[in-house]
Structure 1
Amino acid sequence: MNEMMRREIETQANLLPKLQPTLAELADTLPRMAGRIYAGGCGDSAFAPQALQDVFRSLGVEIISKTSMELSSYTRFQPSDTVLLSSISGGTKRTVEAANAARERGADVVAITCNGESALAQAATSTLEMPFKPLSRKTPHTLDYAVTLLATAEIARSHGGFEASTLASALSDLDKVLAAAEERANQIAEDHSPEGKVIFLGSDCDLGTANYAAAKLHEAGGLTSFAAETENFVHGMNFMLEPQDMLAILASTEAGIRRGQTVADAFSPLCATHILENEKSIPKPANALSLLLGTTFTVQFLCLKIADKMGLHLEEPRAGRPRGSQHAAAQSAAMGF
């Protein structure tokens, strides 16, 4: 069951190392960024720059993560600003609106997309066209998210003045990283109850991955899942925990691991609790990207394992659950305006 999602996850091990030199070269051809640097999009494209915050820091680059709606409606751009906007199709309406809003105020816009002829590319100042085609857009998105992570990281790497090979070591032995991620996901999935909620916690960059993780379960048939900042969770949200729920705490920074373990210990008597730590001895900044990919692969596999366990058919509308066609129609209508 769900062979397509598994195929997309496993393809990452071969495709990411193959794409890295090309993405690095494309990033190096982009105009030099200046002023404040924003990055965002909708859905996964909003989560990606948030999840990359530790990678950005390791490169000495400050990038402000915002959603497309925040950028298009609530951001006061200056002519010196640069805005990175990602969309696989390049047709996401709010993201195109964000590009137009930034351009109207004189800011530069870099489109990160698979479609160089798209509305987003046409609205942008320059474009990084990702040289790959998603295998599927019906299953919870995995491969295209990882490529967006890498493309955005390469733009930051180039801006920081690092060599084109700087991030390459983060992509070595991805087969082993995937295998370890699947094993970890198997352990976590054993504690999943179809009647329960899954709550992902994280701080800073890990909150971006927690948002991505919750979104995968939303895409997998509308399963009940939430994402929250680790510290903020204990100020009231914790009262929603029930015995059938599962708490998954993502932690890849020193502060995140320290606080995450405390929170995990505190709530383990109430429900199944897991802390996803990832540590590797790869020099920075490749280390930060490696940690991010390890956590990303784990939550991708966790989504797949839960879907298989529940008998969900991920390529069907709402994964085969009731009223799938109505949900798909409502989503399409909302996105179209």
Structure 2
Amino acid sequence: MNATMRREIDEQVKLLPELQPRLAEAADGLPRACGRILAGGCGDSAFAPQALQAVCRAMNLPLEAKTSMDIACFTPLTDTDTVVLSSISGGTKRTVEAASAARAAGARVIAITCHGDSALADVATRTVVLPFTPLSRKTPHTLDYTITLLSIAEVLRSQAGLADTALAPATSDLGMLLRGAKERVGRISEDHRPEGKLIILGADGDLGTANYTAAKFHEAGGLVTFCAETENFVHGMNFMLDPEDTLVVLGSTEAAVRRGRSVVNAFSSLCRTYLLTTETGHAAPDVILRRVFQLTFMVQELCLAVSDKLGLSLEAPRAGRPRGAEHLEAQTRAMAS
């Protein structure tokens, strides 16, 4: 039903390996950071650095993942800091403000955007121009997000002093990952009940992927979806569970899978519970990045499957649900303010 989102998801298999060498080359042209590295943006551009935390640890590169508002308003910066800010359009107001605040503090700003002539690029010290054109900005974002993930990962890889091919294996044979992802979430989408809530849990970098998941369901017509850190969920939020709800825990590390399994088992008598995992264990940065892609593919497929099941028209405002135009107008006003 939602052919555009289907096409975007499938296009990742082709575009990610094609763009990796070009993004690596662009990243290697950037100056090396001499202090802290912070990365962020709004929406998906904030979730991507969160999702890359384990990748950064594998590269021995500390990273502070922030939102644009956090950087613009609440984070003290110095002239030794490097701030990586992502925006597909390059015009996201709060992200441009974050870049301006960072530059005013003397920090170096690296912009990641599709538009080298954008407001964000104008403020930034250096810009990585993403070498692709988004297929659509109306459906829950899929291709845009994974390219943002890869571009940020390449910038961080270069800052860590690793070779330009270090992350290339992460983008190999993505078709296999995508096929497996669709199979893994089939039962969850079939069991999902529209009158219930969807709760997505994750820990460490998986919390970034969980935040991304919730955002996709919000974009899919405002489906009621909540996101939380796996451990924090069991300290009060668990009381919101009802029999018609679906609880999904994400896990790509041994600790996350271990805790996720115990949480799924504990609440299985209250609602439908599922554990979505990848392989775990210590690994090189490219292997960990591949796990991030794998989990991301799973939740993209889940969002599309549920949307198709519910008959949602994802390219329409609020996916065709009532008052879509009013919601879109209110969002536009809020983003511009």
> What is the TM-score when the length of structure 2 is the normalising length?
0.99
Offset at residue 283 of structure 1 (A): 4.9
Conserved? CA contact 2:58–2:283, under 8 Å: no
**Residue matched to 1:231:** 231
Q: Is the 8 A contact 1:68 1:95 kept in 2?
A: yes
- For structure 2, the residue ranges without an aligned partner over 5 or more in a row are none
The one-letter code sitting in structure 2 at the alignment partner of 1:161 is G
Secondary structure of 2:95 counterpart: helix
- The offset of 1:188, in angstroms, is 1.3
Equivalent residue letter for 2:298? T
Tell me, in whole angstroms, the C-alpha distance in 2 between the residues paired with 1:43 and 1:172: 27
Q: 1:107-256 alignment to 2 at 5 Å?
A: 107-256=107-256
Paired AA for residue 274 in structure 1: Y
Which amino acid in 1 is paired with 2:52?
Answer: L
Q: Is the 8 A contact 1:53 1:205 kept in 2?
A: yes
Q: Which residue of 2 aligns with 1:104?
A: 104
Partner Cα separation in structure 2 for residue 113 and residue 239 of structure 1:
41
Q: Deviations over 1:60-102 (max 9, x none)?
A: 1111001000000001101100000000000000000000000
Alpha-carbon distance, 1:224 to partner: 0.2
Stretch deviating more after TM superposition (131-140 or 273-282): 273-282
In the TM superposition, residue 170 of structure 1 has moved relative to its aligned partner by 1.1
> In the alignment, is the contact (CA less than 8 A) between 1:111 and 1:121 conserved in 2?
yes
Query: Counterparts of 2:235 and 2:309 in 1: how far apart (Å)?
Result: 32
Q: Distance in 1 between matches of 2:34 and 2:111?
A: 16
1:310 is aligned to 310
CA distance in 1, matches of 2:22, 2:135: 19
1:254 Cα deviation (Å)?
A: 1.1
Amino acid in structure 2 at the alignment position of 1:39: A
The match for 1:263 is: 263
Instruction: Output the CA distance in 2 between the equivalents of 1:257 and 1:185.
Output: 17
Deviation at 1:281, TM superposition (A): 9.0
Q: Whole-Å Cα distance in 1 between the matches of residues 314 and 128 of structure 2?
A: 30
CA distance in 2 between partners of 1:281 and 1:24 (Å)? 26
* Partner amino acid, structure 2, of 1:40: G
Poorly superposed stretches of 4+, deviation over 4 Å: 280-283
Q: Residue 285 of structure 1 corresponds to which residue in structure 2?
A: 285
Deviations 1:166-215 (A, max 9, x none): 11111111001000001112121111000001000000100000000000
Aligned to 1:47: 47
C-alpha distance after superposition, 1:285-320 (max 9, x if no partner): 111101100000000010000100000000000000
CA distance in 1, matches of 2:79, 2:92: 24
1:64 corresponds to: 64
Residue deviations 1:23-62 (CA, integer Å, cap 9, x gap): 0000000111121111000000000000010111111111
Tell me what 2:17 maps to. 17
Q: Does the CA contact (< 8 Å) of 1:79 and 1:107 recur in 2?
A: yes
CA contact (8 A) 1:71 1:98 kept: yes
Aligned alpha-carbon RMSD (Å): 1.0
Taking the aligned partners of 1:261 and 1:282, their CA distance within structure 2 comes to: 19
8 Å CA contact 1:251–1:275 kept in 2: the answer is yes
Q: Distance in 2 between matches of 1:227 and 1:14?
A: 30
Contact 2:253 2:281 in 1 (8 A): no
Report the Cα distance in structure 2 between the residues aligned to 1:34 and 1:64, rounded to whole angstroms. 15
SS at match of 1:128: strand
- Other structure's SS at 1:264 match: helix
Amino acid at match of 1:113: T
**Count, aligned residues:** 337
Return 52-61 or 82-91, whichever deviates more: 52-61
Which residue matches 2:296?
296
Which letter maps to 1:68?
A: S
Which position in structure 1 is the counterpart of 2:28?
A: 28
In 1, are the aligned partners of 2:11 and 2:143 still within 8 Å (CA)? yes
Whole-Å Cα distance in 1 between the matches of residues 91 and 153 of structure 2? 22
Q: Offset of 1:137 from its aligned partner?
A: 0.3
Specify the alignment match of 1:272 in structure 2: 272
